[in-house]
Amino acid sequence: MPRAPELEQWRTEIAKHFPHLSQPMVMGLAPWSLGMILVRSCGLTAITDWWSCRLGQPFHTVRERLRDSYREAEAKAGGHRAELDLRACWAPWCTWVLDGWSGTQLAVALDATTLGQRFVLLVIRVVYRGCAVPLIWKVLPAGCKHPWKPEWLALLQVLRGRVSPTWTVIVLADRGLYAKWLFETLVQMGWHPMLRVNVGGSFRPEGWYHWVPFRQFVLAVGDRWQGSGTAFTHPKTRLNCTL
């Protein structure tokens, strides 16, 4: 049976950065992750077809081995099967991504993505050279009421433990994720929130008496304005910040 040197090298790399993983887990993750890079796709069929040709193995044999890497323990054959615990991989994965990072400034993005009617993904990504690398994530069932706040707090704490407190961390999020508690949490962590908000609010710059609608600070395309003050008029949502 032919062997793929690049796959053996990649298995060694994964084992080095995820020392807690068993050998079967490493052997399952290696063709998945390397296959996505080589094929430029995360589809099971595309990756299976690639390795089937590269290794000279039957298509369905390779496919089942790839599927075993993400199956629950009960769905696997054998008496010593275990499932992949992603939570145990978050910290070493963050360390790997940030290893050798140039500089001490880091931009991360918070994102909630819905996959049809099946899942909602809460993801923290590191922004780098026009792309966003997923660092930590949580998969929730779609269509079910589930509080996001404790999930986001848990994800942020994991990332906080992997980033040096001397770094400047900018956190970006779209307006759908804005919340006062999120802003205040990021500030307490020593990070810098840059959260988009709906344009329907109002802002009172420092030293001003009247509230001004957000829209009136920028009246034409290309205009800019920034200043410190208080956002939102309602006492419960009022926030001292920079707009």
Tell me: the pLDDT tens digits for 10-46? 999 999 999 999 888 898 899 999 999 999 998 999 9
Determine the pLDDT at residue 1.
Answer: 40
Sign of CA dihedral 29, 33, 38, 43: positive
- Looking at every residue in the chain, the average pLDDT score rounds to 90
Determine the pLDDT at residue 192.
Answer: 96
Is pTM beyond 0.75? Reply is yes
Cα dist from 17 to 20, 21, 41, 89, 108, whole Å: 9, 9, 23, 9, 22
**2, pLDDT greater than 60:** no
- Any residues with CB less than 8 A from the CB of 73 and at least 6 apart, and which? 81, 82, 83
Determine the pLDDT at residue 146.
Answer: 86
Among 3, 63, 53, which Cα is nearest to 28's? 63
Amino acid at 2: P
Amino acid at 213: P
Determine the pLDDT at residue 75.
Answer: 60
Determine the pLDDT at residue 76.
Answer: 63
Q: Which domains does the chain have, with CATH numbers?
A: 5-84 (no CATH), 86-196 (3.90.350.10), 197-243 (no CATH)
- Any residues with CB less than 8 A from the CB of 55 and at least 6 apart, and which? 1, 2, 3, 4, 62
Q: What is the pLDDT of residues 92-145, one digit of tens each?
A: 988 888 887 888 999 999 999 988 889 999 999 999 888 888 999 999 998 888
Determine the pLDDT at residue 77.
Answer: 64
Give the model's confidence band at 236: pLDDT under 50 very low, under 70 low, under 90 confident, else very high.
very high
Query: How much of the chain, in percent, has pLDDT values that exceed 70?
Result: 95
* DSSP type of residue 77: S
Give mean pLDDT, residues 68-89: 74
Instruction: Look at phi and psi of residue 163 and say left if phi exceeds 0, alpha if psi is from -120 to 50, else beta.
Output: beta
Determine the pLDDT at residue 112.
Answer: 93
